[in-house]
């Protein structure tokens, strides 16, 4: 068994990730905390509706997977949401339970009544969104934030300040707002909120350093996926010392969604050698549960939890698999299927199949064929897949084999006669 962090029994990634020149630029915190927002921000994806029972089931699965904090919802949204939060708190599942609220005292009162230990408090923070979308005077955002965060603190809640549209704000303006809230109101942590997913990875270090220059508090990353940058941006933020990740299962969320938890935790574990304490073998089952309850179809090739990540159609890869599957599976996959709770790798049959794919499938059927017969079956499989534009089922492959062998036998009989 090798001991290099890039090559273990479970995964095999690039050794360059662990070069001293690369690692010297990183300043990860001692512990990375995952704050799951599936039950609130995830449900904001158009068409996704979670019932009270759905939310409880997902919260239980999140706790089983070892998630550190769960944002159980926004009490003011509906009686059902409030009831779900209360029940999740009551069950004492293990993770910290937070609520989400606007920077309004009445919202905070609802969170307090639910029994949560903390609250994420939102307020618009760019001058343009305050004026154009909210149509507030600028000072209103400041005044509401100071009053409500101070009230939340007085009620014993942990307060995470959540400035909406942070990354499109004028930096001095938004940092002045945040500093006033921290000094005149209360703030246990600040969320770096990329509401519209518009921050590039190379801008993350600048943002984090500018914030740290003016504010000494825990930082949390809440980054969206509108340009597909959520995971990269989150890792960049952590490498600058940000301590908490806001993420959702499957990346559910408004528009293009939130930073997906499963991709982020596996990237941290394998590419950076950071074990977050999440139970990685629960990721696939958790994804299937959220897929079912949300009605959100997961792409087959989605990283970590896609249904076909460990299915092999290509003939050349099937040959590699036969050579490596027993002792060297990470020659073909960056991590083993068991690590994320996926079913074992398998060879599937379709247009891309080659002779080794067919021989493997024939062996599973217990059928012996000549090289010529196997070649006929390969051609038939390719034709079927091309015509139907999909993989074959086991029954369809069996039918092709039977037809091919019967045709060959009939041809022999004709020649003999």
Instruction: Output the CA–CA distances (angstroms, integers) from residue 2 to 9, 302, 321, in the order listed.
Output: 8, 29, 21
The mean per-residue pLDDT over the stretch 295-317 comes to 93
Q: How many CA atoms lie within 13 A of 131 on its CB side?
A: 5
Indicate if the pLDDT at residue 254 is higher than 60. yes
Indicate if the pLDDT at residue 322 is higher than 50. yes
Token couple for 148: 């409500």
pLDDT tens per residue across span 278-293: 999 999 999 999 999 9
Distance CA 126, CA 170 (A): 7
> What pairing do the DSSP bridges indicate for beta strands 118-124 and 218-223?
unpaired
Cβ atoms of 15 and 44 within 8 Å: the answer is: no
Name the β-bridge partners of 245: 34, 221
Give the three-state DSSP class for 346.
strand
Pick the range with the lowest mean pLDDT from 158-162, 324-328, 351-355, 393-397.
Answer: 324-328
Residue 192 phi, psi dihedral angles, 5° rounding: -85, 100
Q: Which residues contact 351 (CB under 8 A, 6 or more apart)?
A: 313, 382, 385, 386
CA-nearest of 71, 406, 106, 17 to 261 is 71
Q: What is the distance, to the nearest Å, from the Cα of residue 2 to the centroid of all Cα atoms in its chain?
A: 29
Provide the H-helix boundaries in 72-191: 79-91, 105-114, 127-129, 138-154, 171-184
Instruction: Pick 44 or 370 by higher pLDDT.
Output: 44
pLDDT tens per residue across span 370-410: 888 899 999 999 999 999 999 999 999 999 999 888 766 55
Domain ranges of the chain: 15-294, 311-416
pLDDT tens per residue across span 165-201: 999 999 998 999 999 999 999 999 999 999 999 999 9
| Per-residue pLDDT, 407 | 62
| CATH architecture of residue range(s) 15-294 | Alpha-Beta Barrel (3.20)
Within 10 angstroms of residue 209's Cβ, the number of other Cβ atoms is 11
């Amino acid at each position: 068994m090798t001991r290099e962090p890039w090559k273990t029994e479970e995964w095999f990634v690039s050794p360059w990730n662990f070069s001293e020149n690369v690692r010297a630029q990183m300043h990860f915190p001692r512990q990375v905390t995952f704050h799951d927002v599936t039950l609130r921000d995830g449900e904001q994806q158009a068409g996704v509706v979670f019932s009270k029972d759905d939310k409880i089931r997902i919260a239980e699965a999140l706790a089983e997977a070892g998630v550190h904090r769960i944002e159980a919802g926004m009490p003011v949204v509906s009686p059902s949401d409030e009831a779900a939060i209360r029940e999740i708190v009551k069950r004492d599942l293990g993770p910290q339970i937070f609520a989400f609220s606007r920077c309004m005292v009445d919202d905070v009162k609802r969170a307090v009544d639910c029994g949560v230990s903390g609250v994420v408090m939102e307020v618009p923070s760019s001058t343009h969104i305050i004026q154009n979308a909210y149509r507030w005077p600028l000072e209103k955002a400041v005044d509401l934030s100071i009053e409500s965060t101070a009230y939340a603190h007085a009620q014993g809640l942990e307060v995470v300040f959540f400035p909406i549209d942070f990354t499109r704000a004028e930096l001095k303006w938004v940092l002045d707002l945040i500093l006033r809230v921290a000094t005149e109101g209360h703030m246990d942590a600040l969320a770096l909120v990329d509401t519209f997913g518009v921050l590039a990875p190379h801008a993350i270090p600048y943002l984090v350093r500018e914030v740290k220059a003016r504010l000494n508090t825990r930082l949390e990353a809440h980054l969206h996926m509108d340009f597909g940058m959520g995971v990269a941006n989150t890792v960049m933020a952590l490498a600058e010392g940000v301590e908490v990740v806001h993420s959702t299962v499957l990346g559910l969320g408004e528009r293009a969604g939130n930073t997906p938890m499963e991709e982020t935790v596996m990237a941290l574990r394998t590419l950076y050698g950071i074990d977050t304490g999440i139970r990685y073998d629960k990721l696939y089952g958790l994804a299937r549960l959220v897929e079912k309850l949300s009605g959100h179809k997961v792409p087959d090739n989605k990283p970590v939890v896609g249904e076909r990540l460990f299915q092999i159609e290509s003939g050349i890869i099937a040959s590699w698999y036969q050579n490596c599957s027993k002792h060297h599976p990470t020659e073909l996959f960056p991590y083993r299927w068991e690590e994320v709770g996926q079913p074992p790798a398998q060879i599937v049959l379709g247009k891309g199949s080659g002779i080794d794919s067919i021989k493997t499938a024939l062996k599973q059927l217990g059928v012996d064929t000549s090289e010529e017969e196997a070649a006929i079956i390969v051609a038939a499989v390719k034709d079927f897949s091309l015509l139907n534009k999909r993989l074959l089922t086991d029954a369809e492959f069996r039918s092709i084999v039977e037809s091919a062998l019967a045709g060959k036998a009939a041809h022999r009989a004709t020649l003999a006669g």
